[in-house]
């Protein structure tokens, strides 16, 4: 038998071995998932859906629903007042290229909302979360406070709007967006139960809120907290001694255990009154994310823990 005759039968076998090796490599490269949001396309799929949101918490909702299929940017970064009057050129460019823009509405973002409509490109989709939320609660409550997402049971509707909006602009991946959204909604339901249990450990007489900002209406309503008073902004020259003493007296009379500020809103009035009344100044998050709370769920868990710590829960 010649050399050529000996090698010929090996060629089909080598081809089979090559195919098997390629398959094994593909499995190895594609494995190791962390159980997070699925991506509906591979590396060679279509470009990601470009999404712009107003607030960082909304960008987190988009990431949870979209996974690697989305590219999302929040135009109101942490610590920025939603009533900003202008945007840097690079943010305007992102808005003009976005396939989808998501914002709350009902004047949460005030002038920022106008900037979105001004700079969006023709054909892109711009959708308000509040449009879907208002039908979930009474018409009387809706205008009072539009920070609906601070009630995790209403945040479920935010997720519904998020995945459905992504499906509008990327219909081929609709089932993936919905699956990711359904998985996240289960996490929101667990979050609600966690917060309910934690806040439930606070004695009823201690569940009193003194805050600088009126963001927490729906959080308080859901978990049985009572607003004592809001510390409205004072002049740039700072609070008068008389007003500080008035607030200190209120804190003492109501038996308030702590006052609450936000990372992106400071109140010298509350700081001074709390010092005078010898109570702690604590922190609640409404829409900002930072190194301490990087997701909506982390933010809400922190809020629950802070309420328990500062108001005498267990």
Percent pLDDT > 70 in the chain is 77
Percent pLDDT > 90 in the chain is 61
What are the pLDDT digits (tens) for 180-233?
999 999 999 999 999 999 999 999 999 999 988 778 989 999 999 998 877 666
Identical fold between 49-196 and 201-311 = yes
Does domain 201-311 fall under CATH 3.40.50.300? My reply is no
Give the CATH H-level superfamily of domain 49-196.
Answer: Nitrogenase molybdenum iron protein domain (3.40.50.1980)
Q: Quick check: 131 pLDDT over 90? A: no
pLDDT mean across residues, the chain: 83
What are the pLDDT digits (tens) for 237-291?
678 899 899 999 999 999 999 999 988 777 888 999 999 999 999 999 998 899 9
Do the Cβ atoms of 18 and 11 come closer than 8 Å? no
- pLDDT tier at 12, thresholds 50, 70, 90: very low
What is residue 39's predicted lDDT score, i.e. its pLDDT?
A: 53
What is residue 216's predicted lDDT score, i.e. its pLDDT?
A: 92
User: Residue ranges per domain, the chain?
Assistant: 49-196, 201-311
Q: Quick check: 122 pLDDT over 80? A: yes
What are the pLDDT digits (tens) for 51-76?
999 999 999 999 999 999 999 999 98
Of 22-26, 47-51, 72-76, the one with minimum mean pLDDT is 22-26
What is residue 15's predicted lDDT score, i.e. its pLDDT?
A: 40
Do the Cβ atoms of 147 and 303 come closer than 8 Å? no
């Amino acid at each position: 038998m010649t050399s050529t005759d000996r090698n010929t039968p090996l060629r089909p076998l080598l081809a089979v071995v090559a195919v098997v090796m390629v398959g094994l490599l593909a499995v190895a490269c594609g494995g190791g998932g962390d159980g997070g949001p699925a991506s509906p396309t591979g590396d060679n799929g279509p470009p990601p859906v470009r999404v712009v949101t107003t607030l960082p918490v909304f960008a987190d909702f988009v990431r949870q629903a979209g996974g690697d299929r989305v590219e999302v940017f929040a135009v109101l970064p942490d610590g920025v007042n939603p009533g900003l009057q202008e945007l840097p050129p690079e943010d305007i460019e992102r808005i003009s290229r976005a396939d989808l823009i998501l914002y709350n509405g009902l004047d949460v973002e005030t002038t920022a909302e106008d900037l979105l409509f001004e700079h969006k490109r023709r054909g892109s989709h711009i959708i308000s979360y509040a449009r879907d939320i208002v039908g979930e609660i009474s018409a009387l409550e809706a205008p009072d406070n539009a920070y609906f997402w601070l009630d995790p049971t209403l945040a479920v509707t935010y997720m519904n709007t998020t995945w459905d909006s992504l499906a509008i602009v990327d219909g081929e991946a609709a089932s993936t967006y919905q699956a990711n959204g359904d998985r996240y909604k289960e996490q929101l339901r667990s979050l609600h139960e966690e917060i309910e249990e934690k806040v439930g450990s606070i004695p009823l007489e201690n569940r009193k809120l003194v805050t600088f900002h009126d963001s927490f209406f729906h959080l308080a309503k859901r978990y049985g907290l009572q607003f004592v008073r809001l510390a409205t902004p004072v002049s740039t020259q700072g609070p008068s001694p008389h007003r500080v003493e008035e607030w200190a007296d209120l804190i003492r009379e109501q038996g308030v255990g702590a006052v609450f500020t936000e990372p992106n809103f400071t109140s010298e009035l509350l700081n001074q009154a709390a010092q005078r009344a010898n109570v702690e100044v604590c922190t609640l998050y409404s829409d900002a994310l930072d190194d301490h709370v990087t997701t909506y769920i982390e933010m809400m868990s922190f809020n629950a823990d802070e309420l328990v710590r500062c108001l005498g829960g267990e």
